[in-house]
Structures are given as structure tokens and as C-alpha cells.
Structure 1
């Protein structure tokens, strides 16, 4: 029998931890110990072999006879261990009962109606077992109403209505007849379900005088569980961060082969730490690149979470409660959530809509959603990460026979998402590849009211991502820029795969990783640009840089050369405040690449007009809009809807557009001829390195401008 033992000093010092009021929990555990002792004795009698003539024997199994004889010679141990998960549930049920004044007496003397929320379906069965063994008087027979056994009820009975929330009958419309009959007999009625309001009969909830819920297992409660399992409470404390992550299912796994109370705590820490490997392994958000605005949001959320944990910030003041991450596959949406949890040092509760929808029935899907929110609430403060959010349909787009099915799923999700005050400390981060498929209500204030798109990383971010995955010890002196340029347009997930495969190749051949190994994985047989083509592309991109810089229109981010061509990252923002002067500057900047080729090589390539997204196409579109929609052309102050055939149907339009493009080309040519040294200098650096940043462009243009000015001053002096 589980005898009362002294409260450990580290528990008794804090009256808030519930130890001083755990008399009922100890009584429940004592009852479980007695039942376990009876079960073990019965099991030994039924399974043991006897050497008496009257008992069944199996003399052919000599080994079993040795074991039986050895068991007979062993003294009976004083302590009988209680199953760890059942002990934990007993403590939680006892505390829920004690929190309601007078409820224990009423259960044993009167006929109260109680609704007990377990939050998750996995705890429904153990709670039922505790209710049958501990809640009612010893001579009370417990009848389960959900099995339809209401006719057996008399005043000597107690009734349970059990619902795990998974079956088709898990809704308020079911079971009201048996509840009515049980109420007439006047017996104690306890309804047990993860979410009683939505899963227990309506009449049970209407008549419930007590609505209670299982509390989380704190350090004092864990000490009681350890004592029930091994016979004594622990003397060492458990990390509070890990304590919040305990699931009842972790306890049997951790305590399976433990001999002492402190061994139990140590084993439990190992089991939970394995679930929270992201807290020790992987990267924190501060170490990751390529997330842009999402990283800024995440670092702010991390700081707020740490302040919230320390009590310096209230949940009402917390302004980073929900985030919708969008972007193409592979940009690191899941990695972002793991890194955020590590930076904030809080648990990560990860799930996905696909996981929710894997249930057989609608009720199972609804229960899966409730379970993950309940788990997050129990582990708060934490990050709740929901992947593939577009799997929950937009109600405005749902059609056909599954309308009601999806409406229930979306409505429940919105309800849980909106209940932000009921889940303090839970930061919800959701991810999607298709933000346009998300129900607009999900993005409303108080839900996922911040949406950030993660773009594919640019060249500089890719270089840092390559360095991160290679580590500081591999190729420490090698520049990452060639790798980033070869991997242009790819994602962080691609980079991780390239590096992993390159390391595998080097390992199998017994040598260190080389830059060529990684480049080979990136290119997969694709060849780099031939020298002549590379030189032409460098001149082309340098032309954009020079003209854009001189005209002062747009933001030139960088120039780069990659295996399939070149790119000038030039942001030309033509918003409603743009003027004709700025539009003409934009056209000159776009056409400058081809003009630079004509100056240096005598002719331009077709690349400037290669497709609808080419330089020439964008410049032509601007010239057309000047004439048709902006009211700045020959037609005057009019607006004409643009169409693909307008160039031919509207008289004089095509010549007007062509004239504007010629003027822009001439303007670019004049600039480049006057700054040919700058054009060649930028092209030379771009050709050598494959990448020139905004700062590098400014440096070259500034130095060459000073050189030109000195030459001009010298010429003037010579004339004098």
C-alpha cells in the first residue's frame, strides 16, 4: 500500500504547487495501489505452476519450473508500483475534484451532475478508470450510459457517460434519452469527454452543476507519480521548460526501467528532450538567412515570448500572436518555426492540416484540431506550427456535397484561432504554399492577422546559406559566391541537399569536400557560360547599372552572372506618383543593356527582347501605357484600355511607341559613351567575380567619375 511520505523540501516550500492540498490525490493513489496488489495476486494464482498433484503441471517445460520455484522463494516486495500513466491521471482528477468545494462529498452522498473535460481523447479511458475506482462509495455499482444500460440504474448506482470525440455519435444531439432517464433515477452522473460542450449530450450539459477540467501536471504532481511508481519521491528538480512538455504517454516510456526516484526524473528528461531536439540541435533564428521580413517578425516575437515568460510582459500587451507564412516549397517555412522556438526557448507543437484530415470521420478530424490546440495550451508559452494551411478550404469556394463537412472544420478552426485570450502564451504560426486559397476570416484581426511571404533567397543570402550548411570547418577559405550564383533561383532546402550530397561523395572517396563537388551537385551536368558569352552578358548588365545610376531612377540592388545568363536586380517602382520624366528614365535604364552591347561589340544580342519579361518587352509596355493609359502621349489626356492588338488598331500608336523607344535608346547611348570607362570597369569586375553589389557599383562609378573629372581638368589646363 502506498503509505503517506514526507513532502520533499523543494515542494513544500511553495504552497502554490498544490502539494499541501494533495490529500485526495494520495488517497486515489492508495486505492490504485490496493487494486494493483489484488491484480498481481490474482495473476500469480492463475498463471503459476504448482507441483501438487491436484494442480495442472507441465513437467516437460523444465525451464519454467525453475522460474516458478524461484518466484516462490522470493519474498513479496513491500511496494507495489502503480502504472505511471494511470497514477498521473489520478493526480489530475483528484486536483480537479478538490478545486470544486464540496464536490467530493456530493459524489459520495448526493446525485450531482458533472462534466469533466480531458482536453485530449487519449485521456478519456484512464479518466474513466479513475472515476470507476475512486469517485464513488465502495458499494456503488458504476453503469456506463453511453452503452445504453440506463434500465439497470437504481439508487445504488452511479452513471458515467463516456465520449472520446472520435465516433459519429460525438455530438450534443445524441444520448439525451438516457440522460433524461438517469436524471429521473437521481444518481451521480459524470460525463467525460475531451470537449464536453461539443461532444456530450445536450441535456447532460444543461443539467451539469459542476464543469471541471483536468489540470496540467506540475512538479509536485510529478513527484506524487514518481512516488506511486517507485515508492519514494524524488529529491532532484526537473527543468521547468521540459516539465511543460510532458505528455501522460511519456511517463510509462520514461519509468519503464528505473530503480530510484531520481532515476525517474533523469529518464523523463531524456525522453522529453528527445522530443524537443530543436532546443539543442539546429539553428536559432538569429543564425538563419533568407527570411527577410519574417526574420524581423520572428526575432521580435522571440523577445516578447521571453519577456512574457519572465513576467515582464502581459499577454494583453503581446502583439505577435499569429503569423501566416507563405512562399514556394523549400524556402524554409518549417525551419522558421523550429528556429523561432529555439530562439525563444519554448516548446514547438507541430501539426498539419493533412494530419488532421487523416482521421476516418469528421468527428476525428475535429478532435485532432481540438487536441493540438489543447496540447499547445498545456505547454504554453509555446509555438503552435500548422503546416499546409491551404488544406482547410475557403468557405466561399466550397461547392457540392461536402459543403457542411468543410464548414464544420473551418468554423471550429476559426473558433479556436479566435479564442486568443483562452490560450495565453500560444503563438500560432501557419504556413501555406497557396495564400490565395486561405479563408479570408483566418486573416482577420485577432487570428493570423500578419501575413509575410518568404521569397527565394537572393545571391547574398544563398552564399550565407551555403556557408551555414557547409559549416565553418569545410572550405573555410573558399568564397561561397560561385556556389550562390550557380544556385540562383533555388531555395535553402535545395542548398541543404546539394551540400549533403557533396559531402557524401567526398566521404565515399575518402577525401575532403571541394568547391567542385558542390558545384557539380548544383549544376547536374549543366555547363557554365562560355567566356565570350560571359563577357557580353557582363557588358549588358553593366549598361543597366551605369544608366540607372546616372539618371537616379530606381534602386539598383546588384548585378550577377549565372549559368544561364545575367541579371540586374533593378527595382523600377512605377506607382501612381511617377512622372513622364521618371518613365522615360525607366525606359532608358531598361534599354541600356542592349545599347552597351552595341557600343562594345558593334551589335546587340537578342537577349534584350527574349520573351514577354525581357528588357525590350518591359520598355515597350511603358511606352504604350504612356500613350494609352497614362494620358501623357500624343492622344492627349485620355485613357484607353490596353490590349495586345492596340499597336496595330490604333492609328499612329505604333510609330509613337517606336519613337519613344528610339529616344530612350539615344539617351542611354549618350550616357554610356560619356562613361565608357565606368561601363568597362563594372563589366570587368562582374566578369571576374560573377557578382557586384550595390556598394561595389557605387564604388566603381565614384572612382571612375573622379578619374574623368581629373582628366577634364588636365585638358582645360593644357588648353590654357
Structure 2
């Protein structure tokens, strides 16, 4: 909605309903101008007296030039007031005017008012404006939160209770004696705090007849502020997206050296856009790789937020409102939040549990949590990103003297997190490296009820990440696969660091970046596979591909070679529906690598049995489980809990497992001999490129099968 930039103070009955509050806002601003004029006059008298005492104008030639320039300048009658105070005056006036009769009561009666500023930064400017504008000019204002103020009260006083929410005194059981004294004398009482219910004296909030809160500036309110600062109203509105992101602290910075109202708008747009993460240079989520399920969730959330902003979707219809991202460091959890905000075209409010815990007091930590949620509400629709969420302890694991401390923090966080309806438009994304340390209540429905683990990027994603960080101008025609293969198992953050260091090396050498520069950074002294070893590994991985395709074992995702060896990536789901036939196919596929080496090279290597996750180890585990726990072996329909020594202690188990593995190897051998042409074709291309996708493997095998059919037909004719 667009608001008029200027509302006349003289208009009354003709003024549309809902905008009469700006009459009070103009009155507040006029009162601040009056106070500023008095301050300036006092300052000029002091400055003039001091100048005459210290120096004679005749003795300072430079001062004579300055004085002449000042005399020649046109004088203006406009008195500027500080931009932050002007903004607070507008917001406070509107909050007061929204309560029927409150402004009259504050000056004629003794109402009790609680005022929520939502954030602690606004408490002090609200206090200043309240003292100067809310009460009669003859009244003496006293702050009941300070010392022995309540003992000096008379009917000529008006009382404030000002609390910024930080410190051990910011709680309902403090300051009640002073409130009771003010209530007895019957004077106006105004409590000011970010969260009055939790931070002001209990007796003040219980006796409050008016509970008001500051609202955000709209276009008309911003125009009033600019008019108060520079003396005129702008001819255009600010971008509505940027308007939602303006903090009070931005106003003095933006309006400090601007001379015209439109220049004020331009300065604000520059300053706010500079701090807006979603308007930065980072990529949107659509072009990022390696996020898998998280990317799918994020794109749906971005679409929902865009529809919500456009009014096509209600907040209660949006199901993507909370996400817990887990994963090892460096996988890009923070980058995901920035990219999500950019895709949704909404602000990113970023914080961390470490920021919350930086305060020396529990009340400061609690206020920091409230403040960031209040900031997110003020900028909604937006993304609220909370990093290091495991820093908030699981209440079930807290012990000793810190139980009460952490319980209060967790409870407040859960309360704010659960208040989905109180924060419309705020999508909360939290990140952790340790999801097991998160309080289970955080993951309940209506809070962060969706958890997605971001894994380390696969080869394809790593190649795309390298290309993203290099840009399209550097090595535009070079394949990123060698880099991705050398960096397999590393993260996107690692890839970014490798590119940055390689660029630095090339810059210091006065030349362009080369692929060798990048590989040197990735390998950090590691040597690539020798030609002989590379050939053996390619044959080994090709054996897995050929047998798995022949037996229909799972889904082969890709084959790859790297500096440490090779890898065949299968997608095989082992659940209760798996049959013995499928398990035996898995055994043959796992053992096919070493068998392929024996067929093509003449001997097998120990590479297929290197460690607990090796081909032979996995095959042995499956064969043992067939006999021991699946009820499909020689022991019959029985389940025995597996143990490290069961192969030796259970009579007949070791020979049964050995025989099952031998049959699987023989089966793989027969398939590979029959399809040797396909084995050689896959091995040759893998050795050359270092990487084959599932589609490329299917293509090679299909071509090999087409070539094999005429050869088989020719052999049949020869036999006849």
C-alpha cells in the first residue's frame, strides 16, 4: 500500500480515518523543534562568549574569511531535529493517538501506560521524546527506575519507568515499591521497555490501563521524518522492500549530509541496499549445487514467500515455515540462507547462538533473543537465520548449577519459535553441526519441524562449485572434473578456498590462473595415480558397473577415479522387502572389481579389501547376515545377534560364508568373461576421463552390446 507523503496539520474533518494520528505526530515534531531551537540558542550564546574571551577577530585572518562566508550565506528558518528522534516521535505519536483519549489523559489525569519498543535500541530515544512531548510542560518528569526517585514524588510529577531489558534488574519482581508509591500519589505512569511483561515491574503491568507498542514507519511516516530534518517532503516514495528494512540507526547516517528531500530518499536507498543480503552479489538458490533435498525445500519456500508478499497466499497456508539444517562444517549452511533470501527477494536477518550468549547477564541473553525475533517481525516477510543452534543446550542433558540458566534460555526460544502466528512472514532457518545436541522440543510440529542434512557435495556438484567460484571468464573451456575428482570428499568452502589461493598465486606471478595452479592447491603435495595404477583402478570400477548392470543390482550413479583410487557409487536400498536373489546380486556386484582385475590384468589387488568399508568387507557382512540374521542360510529360519567372533564360534558359519562368497565371485567371473568387450569399453573411457555418470555408463554398455550381437551371430554360424 502507498501512503501520501504529506498530511496537513490543519486538516481535520476532511482527513481520512486512520491518518488523523499524524496531527499528533506533527505536534510532537513541533515540540522537538521548539526544544532544539532553545538548545541552539543556548549553545550560540556560550560559543559567542567563549570566542570573544579567547580570540580577537582582527587577529585571525582565516576566521575573517570564514565569518564573511557565513554572512554571505542565505539564512534559513528551518530548524532540523535529529533524524532518529524524529522517527521515534512519529511512531510514538501514532501509538498514542491510536488509543482513544490517551493523549488528553496523559496531560489531565493519571493513567498507567506500558509501552513496548520491541528492541532495546529504541528505549532511550523513546524516553527523550516521552519527556518532551507526552506531558504538560510544567510537569516534572522522574524516572522511577533510577535510585531513590520514588521518595521525591508529588502531584506535580509524572513518572517514567525506563528499562532497556539488559541487566539483572530487568525483571518483574524489581521496582514494584516505586510503582506502588506513584500509584498512591495518582500521577501519570509510563513504563518503557522492549518487552514490558517480562521486563517492567509486575505492579506496573498489572495496573496498566493502556498497553501500546511502537509500529514501523510507513511511507507517510518517513516523509514526516524527512520533512523534520530537511524542511520539505520528497516527491517520490522509497522502494517498499527497502522501507521494511530501515532501522532507526540508518536515519542519522543517511540524512546527515543531504540537502533535499529526494536526496534523502536516494541516500536511504543506498545505505539500506548496501546492508541487504538479498540484494547483494551472492547467487540465488536456483544456481547453487550440492544442496539436494535442502534446495528443493528452499525453492518451494521461496515461491511461497513470493506468493505471500503478493497477497496470493495466506500465512496459514504456508507449510515451509521452519527448517533445521545439519551437516559438517563447510557444506554451505550459511550460504544456503543467503541464497534462499535472494531467491525469495526478502531480507535475511542473520544471528547466532554465540551472539546471544555474548552478554554478561542472563537478562542480556534473553533480550538478544527477543530483539532478533522482533527485528525479523519488523522486516517480514524475511528469512531469520540462526547459526550454531546446538549452542542452546538440550534440557534433558543439562546438569548442575546451570540448569536454571539454560532452561530459561531454551524456554524463551521455544516460546518465540512456537509463536508462528505472532511472526507472520518470518521463515526460520537454523543450522547446526551437531543435530543430536538439539533439544527435541525444537523439532516438534510448528517449530523447526523439518530437518534436512546437507552432505558433502558429490563429484558433479563439486565441479559446478569450482566453476561458480572461478566464474565464466577464467578457464572458460576447461573441464572442472579433474578438480572435482582431486577434491572428492571436500566441501564447497574448501573449493572456494582453493580457487582463492590459486588466484593469489597467479596474481603474484603476473599471469592468468591455470588448471595446474588449481590442482596444486587441491592436492597439497599429493601425487596423482600412476598410469599403471590408474589402469588397474579403472578396470576394477568397470567390473562393478558391468556386473551390476547385468544383474540389475540397485542403481549405478557414477564411476570415478581420484588421487586415492576409485569409487563406484550405487544407490541400493536394503529394507524388509529385499530378497535373497537381490542380496546375491549385490554380492556378485561387490566382488566383481577384483575379478575384473584378474581377467584383464592377470591378478587381483588388495584394493578391494582395504578397510571396514571395502568391497570385500561389505560383501562378507552381507553373506554373514544371510546366514545369521536374515534366516536365509544353512542355519535356517533363525535370528542370532551378530558379534565380532561369530564367524569362528558358530559351527559351520565360516564355511557357509566362504562358499557363498565363492559362488558370487564365480558368477561375476562368468558375466565379465561373457561381456568382456563391455568391460574394456567402460574401463577405457573411465581411465581417460576419470568420471562417468550413470547415463554415460548406460550409453557405453548399450553400444558394446550392439557390437557384441553381430560377433555372437558370426560365431554361431562358424560353429554350424
Q: TM-score, normalised by structure 1?
A: 0.96
Deviations 1:18-49 (A, max 9, x none): 65540000000000001011111111222334
Structure 1 residue aligned with 2:235: 235
Summarize the Cα distance change of 1:41–1:325 in structure 2 as closer, same or farther, 3 Å threshold. Answer: same
- Other structure's SS at 2:627 match: helix
RMSD of the alignment, in Å?
A: 2.1
Tell me how far 1:397 sits from its aligned partner. 0.8
Match of 1:175 in 2: 175
Q: Is contact 1:165–1:193 with CA below 8 Å preserved after alignment?
A: yes
- SS of the equivalent of 2:712 reads helix
CA positional deviation for 1:514: 1.4
- Paired position in structure 1 for 2:282: 282
Task: State the alpha-carbon separation in 1 of the partners of residues 65 and 641 from structure 2.
Answer: 94
Matched with 1:22 is 22
Q: Distance in 2 between matches of 1:549 and 1:61?
A: 99
Give the stretch that moved more between structures: 147-156 or 60-69: 60-69
| Alpha-carbon distance, 1:278 to partner | 3.7
1:99 is the counterpart of 2:76 = no
User: Secondary structure of 1:436's partner?
Assistant: helix
Q: What corresponds to 1:600 in structure 2?
A: 600
Q: Match of 2:122?
A: 123
Partner residue, 1:422: 422
Cα displacement (A) at 1:556? 0.7
Q: Is the 8 A contact 2:682 2:697 kept in 1?
A: yes
Following TM superposition, by how much is the alpha carbon of 1:534 offset from its aligned partner in structure 2, in angstroms? 0.3
Aligned-pair CA distance for 1:130: 0.8
Q: Is the 8 Å Cα contact of residues 390 and 433 (structure 2) preserved in structure 1?
A: yes
The equivalent residue for 1:46 is 46
* Counterparts of 2:74 and 2:317, CA distance in 1: 62
**1:208 aligns to what?**
208
- Are 2:134 and 1:135 equivalent residues in the alignment? yes
Contact preservation (8 Å) 2:278, 2:345: no
Task: Compute the displacement of 1:614 (Å).
Answer: 0.7
Alignment partner of 1:455 is 2:455 = yes
CA distance in structure 1 between the partners assigned to 2:472 and 2:17 by the alignment:
46
1:19–1:221 Cα contact (<8 Å) kept = no
CA distance in structure 2 between the partners assigned to 1:680 and 1:612 by the alignment: 29
Which residue of 2 is the match for residue 520 of structure 1? Answer: 520
The whole-number CA distance in structure 1 between the counterparts of 2:454 and 2:284 is 17
Offset at residue 714 of structure 1 (A): 2.3
Relative distance call for 1:61 and 1:25 in structure 2 (3 A) is farther
Q: Deviations over 1:126-165 (max 9, x none)?
A: 0011111000111111111111311111111111111101
Q: Deviations over 1:441-488 (max 9, x none)?
A: 111111111111111111111111111111112111111111111111
Deviation at 1:76, TM superposition (A): 5.4
The within-5 A match list for 1:337-416 is 337-416=337-416
The Cα offsets for residues 335-367 of structure 1, whole Å up to 9 and x where unpaired, read as 111111111111111111111111111111111
Query: Are the equivalent residues in 2 in contact too, given 1:393–1:437 (CA < 8 A)?
Result: yes
Return the alpha-carbon distance in structure 2 between the equivalents of residues 281 and 301 of structure 1.
21
Deviation, structure 1 residue 69: 5.0
Go from structure 1 to structure 2 and tell me whether the alpha carbon gap of 1:102 and 1:494 turns closer, same or farther (over 3 Å shift). same
- Aligned partners of 1:103, 1:588: CA distance in 2, in Å? 84
Conserved? CA contact 1:17–1:219, under 8 Å: no
For each residue in 1:563-590, what CA deviation from the matched residue of structure 2 results, as whole angstroms up to 9, or x when unmatched?
1100000123221111111111111111
Within 2, Cα distance between the matches of 1:6 and 1:421? Answer: 33
**Structure 1 649/51 Cα, relative in aligned 2: closer, same or farther at 3 Å?**
closer
The answer to whether 1:113 aligns with 2:117 is no
| C-alpha distance in structure 2 between counterparts of 1:476 and 1:89, whole Å | 53
Alpha-carbon distance in structure 1 between the residues aligned to 2:500 and 2:54 = 63
Match of 1:81 in 2: 80
Q: Is the 8 A contact 2:57 2:64 kept in 1?
A: no
Offset at residue 694 of structure 1 (A): 0.6
Matched residues in 2 for 1:694 and 1:134: separation?
73
Verify the 8 A CA contact 1:143 1:159 in the aligned structure 2.
Answer: yes
CA contact (8 A) 1:254 1:268 kept: yes
CA distance in 2, matches of 1:498, 1:51: 62
Shift in Å, 1:413: 0.5
- Give the Cα separation in 2 of the matches to 1:342 and 1:154: 57
Q: CA deviation at 1:511?
A: 2.0
Query: Structure 2: how far apart are the matches of 1:432 and 1:629?
Result: 36
- Residue 565 of structure 2 is matched in structure 1 by 565
Q: For residues 692 and 510 of structure 1, do their structure 2 counterparts lie closer, same or farther at Cα, with a shift above 3 Å needed?
A: same
Match of 2:89 in 1: 90
| CA distance 1:386–1:67, change in 2 (3 Å) | farther
Helix, strand or coil: the match of 1:22?
Answer: helix
Render the CA deviation track for 1:514-536: whole Å, top value 9, x for unaligned.
Answer: 11111111111111100000000
**Pairing of 1:467-546 with structure 2 (within 5 A):** 467-546=467-546
The DSSP-based 3-state class of the residue aligned with 1:146 is coil
Instruction: Sort the Cα spacing of 1:117 and 1:37 in 2 relative to 1 into closer, same or farther, 3 A.
Output: same
1:166-315 mapped onto 2 (5 Å cutoff): 166-315=166-315
Question: For structure 1, which runs of at least 5 residues remain unmatched after alignment?
Answer: none
Please, which runs of 5 or more residues in structure 2 have no aligned partner?
none
Q: Distance in 2 between matches of 1:205 and 1:562?
A: 67
Superposed displacement of residue 380, structure 1:
0.4
CA deviations 1:278-337 (Å, max 9, x no partner) are 414110111111111111111111111111011000001111101111111111111111
Could you report, residue by residue, the CA deviation over 1:45-70 in whole angstroms, capped at 9, with x for unpaired residues?
22334676xx5657898478648855
Displacement of 1:719: 4.1
Is the contact between residue 113 and residue 189 of structure 2 (CA under 8 Å) also seen in structure 1? Answer: yes
Residues 403-445 of structure 1: CA deviation (Å, up to 9, x unaligned): 1111011110000000000110001111111111111111111
* Partners of 1:475 and 1:16 in 2: CA distance: 63
Structure 2: distance between partners of 1:221 and 1:175: 35
Return the offset for 1:599. Answer: 1.1
- Contact 1:25/1:90 (<8 A) preserved: yes
C-alpha separation in 2, matches of 1:543 and 1:51 = 94
The 1:159/1:542 distance shift into structure 2, 3 A limit, reads same
- 1:666-681 equivalent positions in 2, closer than 5 A: 666-681=666-681
Whole-angstrom CA distance in 2 between matches of 1:314 and 1:569: 43
